[in-house]
Amino acid sequence: MYQDILYEVRDHIALITLNRPQALNAFSGTLGEEWSDAYRRADADDEVRVVVVTGAGKAFCAGADMSGGAATFNSYEGGDFSAAALSTAAFEIRKPVIAAVNGSAVGLGLSLAVQADFRVLAEEGKYGFLQVRRGVVADAYIHWTLPRLIGTERANELLLTGRRISGSEAAAMGLALRVVPAAEVLNVAMELAREIASQCSPLAVAMTKRLLLQAATAPLPRVARLETHWLGQSMGTEDAIEGGTAYAEKRLPQWRSSINDNWPQAEVPPGDEA
């Protein structure tokens, strides 16, 4: 079905593998279309509770495909061009996304990893937003996501200097949940994915992710209304009953709610749409 990625679902986890190892998984138009489609596919499939994204070979993603040389960023003609890169971002889908960054990720490759809810980075990898050293502005919502992840000053440092950093530097900056040897990256990411998929209500997790996105730019009084609204939507659901019962019976919960069938019709409180 896909040319530049691999997609498989196992134990409620969708594994997306960027599959251009000969080009260090450099971002191409086809890769972007397929990656976006894979996110939408995972979001629509109730069998999927968590998404893990990794790269084939020794790199995660070497950024934009520079094989065109000087023509890579030669002109901007408008039209359908978008700096978003993916038509569906990781933070837009309802399932948690874990970036298993198995090797170097630079430029757009790192921007797309930052969109994920969690990042596990390889100690041996090199990371950086190199765009200013290529004469262009960074992309994929990085000016929104990065300051929220690591703070304004550190985001300034990375985006304005375009310098590469090591895995240990990335860890010190808060750019990753975990930094481990490259050989362990996928295993660590999958362990986290399995914990979420088995222990946590997929519906409650999806609702919490959406609440976090809405709350990111909302003032405190609106966050209070949103939190109350989403809590009210989650109470009384099949998973809410099962979660309490499983806890009392000291067993693993058997989640049955459907994210698609049981998703709240209103994502914000009535009268609070603005």
| The pLDDT of residue 274 | 55
- CA 28, 32, 35, 37 dihedral sign is negative
| The pLDDT of residue 73 | 42
pLDDT at residue 115 greater than cutoff 50 = yes
Taking residues 198-210, what's their average pLDDT? 96
Structure tokens at 170: 């990335």
Tell the residue number behind the tokens 């058997």, with chain if given. 254
Q: What is the CATH code for 5-197?
A: 3.90.226.10
pTM of the model: 0.92
- Average pLDDT of the chain is 93
- Least confident among 19-33, 66-80, 87-101, 241-255: 66-80
Residue 109 to residues 15, 61, 114, 222, 224: CA-CA distances in angstroms?
17, 5, 9, 34, 35
Q: Say which residues have a Cβ less than 8 Å from residue 60's Cβ, sequence separation at least 6.
A: 18, 25, 54, 99, 100, 101, 102, 103, 104, 105, 109, 113, 122, 125
| The pLDDT of residue 59 | 97
Cα–Cα–Cα angle for 191, 193, 199, nearest 5°?
95
Domain ranges of the chain: 5-197, 200-274
pLDDT at residue 121 greater than cutoff 90 = yes
| The pLDDT of residue 36 | 98
Alpha carbon 104 to its chain centroid, in Å, reads 17
- Least confident among 44-48, 124-128, 214-218, 269-273: 269-273
- Least confident among 2-16, 37-51, 73-87, 220-234: 73-87
Structure tokens at 248: 């009392």
Alpha carbon 173 to its chain centroid, in Å, reads 18
Phi, psi of 166 (to 5 degrees): -85, 175
- Least confident among 7-16, 110-119, 227-236: 227-236
**Amino acid in position 47:** E
Q: Sort strands 104-106 and 126-128 into parallel, antiparallel or unpaired.
A: parallel
Q: Angle 202-215/238-248 helices, nearest 10 degrees?
A: 120
Contact 39, 84 (CB under 8 A): no
Nearest partner of 58 among 14, 25, 15, 106, judged by Cα: 25
| The pLDDT of residue 127 | 98
Structure tokens at 146: 């990065």
pLDDT digits (tens, 9 = 90+) for 137-159: 999 999 999 999 999 999 999 99
Architecture of the domain defined by 200-274: Orthogonal Bundle (1.10)
Taking residues 179-184, what's their average pLDDT? 98
Which pLDDT band, with edges at 50, 70 and 90, does 79 fall under? low
pLDDT at residue 55 greater than cutoff 80 = yes
Taking residues 224-237, what's their average pLDDT? 93
Structure tokens at 110: 């790192």
Edge to edge, what strands does the sheet with 126-128 contain? 59-61, 104-106, 126-128, 165-166
Residue 181 to residues 64, 88, 107: CA-CA distances in angstroms?
25, 30, 22
pLDDT at residue 74 greater than cutoff 60 = no
| The pLDDT of residue 273 | 66
pLDDT at residue 72 greater than cutoff 80 = no
DSSP-assigned letter for residue 178 = E
Residue 36 to residues 9, 52, 54, 79, 131: CA-CA distances in angstroms?
16, 14, 14, 20, 22
